[in-house]
Amino acid sequence: MIILGWCIVQVGINCLIAPAVAVLSDRIPESTRGTYSALYGASQVIGQQLGTIIGSSFIASIHTGLVVAMIIFLFSGILTVLIWPREKSAANTVVERTWADVGRSFIPPTKNCRDFYLALLGRFTFVVGCFMIQGYQLYILQKYCHLSDAQAASTLRIMALISVVTTILASVVSGPLSDFLHRRKVIVATSCLILAIGILFPFLMPTATGMYIYAALAGIGNGCYMSVDQALNVDVLPNAKEAGKDLGILNLANTIGQVIAPGCTTLVIGLFGGYRMIFPVAIACLLVGTVFIMMIRKVK
């Protein structure tokens, strides 16, 4: 039932994300895209950390936590509909389409798409490396740092607060800086390196302190990455008229990456008999992602 429920949740989340990201292409000019991408990215990271803070309060009462999560999802959907700017009526832009046209709309881009797929691979490896650690923070604290359940829950909340602060600071700086410098790749690649350095600390220091340092650097890295990467993704689109579809494909890097990451973590734990080696493997994923990003030609 947990697997079934999680699958349904993922359908809902990805139906939400795809059109939300397309707005960056449809409504935001390139000159300010980094700034608005920062708002989008920071909101996503901060939301995740607030979710950790709230979720850690229900470790001993999971059913109550699930009900709270359901209520949050319900009202977030209603709030989005209320504040989302009204779009033009589709009746004013009627286009004759056949079923063949609909079928072709699902075909991934095949022309002028080298940078598009490099961005896809860059984000995929980033997500895998990031969620190999982020998705297992509770278990790392319990089984790697050897904290009690109460200590782990308290440490999780502090880590989340640290990440929220550093994410906000990184987003405030990185988005406008990207627009000012007209640079995307360097900021995205640097954020991967910052996160990799953050993951190195718990590898060397298997303590709550090591995890706090990780949380601070992960907040900076995630804040910079999520702030500018969305703008970079829009800049490498092969066809602006198919932005929704192509950005949906790029979003698969998030979804598939989050599916692959737990498998990678459990595989490493099984091979090496503990959590220690997941840190260098996650770092390797982030470094590979950095290479993919720097190989992009279309964007500075």
Between residues 56 and 263, which one has the greater pLDDT? 263
Confidence of residue 90 (pLDDT cuts 50, 70, 90): low
Between residues 214 and 84, which one has the greater pLDDT? 214
Confidence of residue 287 (pLDDT cuts 50, 70, 90): very high
Share of the chain above pLDDT 70, in %: 91
DSSP letters along 267-279, please?
HHHHHHTSSTTHH
- 């990780």: which residue's tokens? 214
Report the Cα–Cα distance between both ends of the chain, in Å, rounded: 46
What Å distances lie between residue 252 and 102, 106, 210, 245, CA to CA?
20, 13, 32, 11
Which residue in 245, 235, 214, 200 sits closest to 104, CA to CA? 245
* pLDDT at 42 exceeding the cut of 70: yes
Cα distance between residue 234 and residue 208, in whole Å:
38
* pLDDT at 96 exceeding the cut of 70: no
Confidence of residue 207 (pLDDT cuts 50, 70, 90): very high
**Fold observed for domain 12-83+113-294:** Growth Hormone; Chain: A; (1.20.1250)
Mean predicted confidence (pLDDT) in 213-220 = 93
Confidence of residue 264 (pLDDT cuts 50, 70, 90): very high
Confidence of residue 95 (pLDDT cuts 50, 70, 90): low
* pLDDT winner (highest mean) among 20-29, 58-67, 99-108, 231-240: 58-67
DSSP letters along 152-185, please?
HHHHHHHHHHHHHHHHHHHHHHHHHHHHHHT--H
Mean predicted confidence (pLDDT) in 199-227 = 91
Per residue in 135-180, pLDDT tens? 899 899 999 999 998 899 899 989 988 988 898 888 778 777 777 7
Q: Sketch the domain layout of the chain as residue ranges.
A: 12-83+113-294
Per residue in 16-28, pLDDT tens? 776 776 676 667 7
Per residue in 266-280, pLDDT tens? 999 999 989 999 999
**What's the pTM value of the predicted model, to 2 decimals?**
0.78
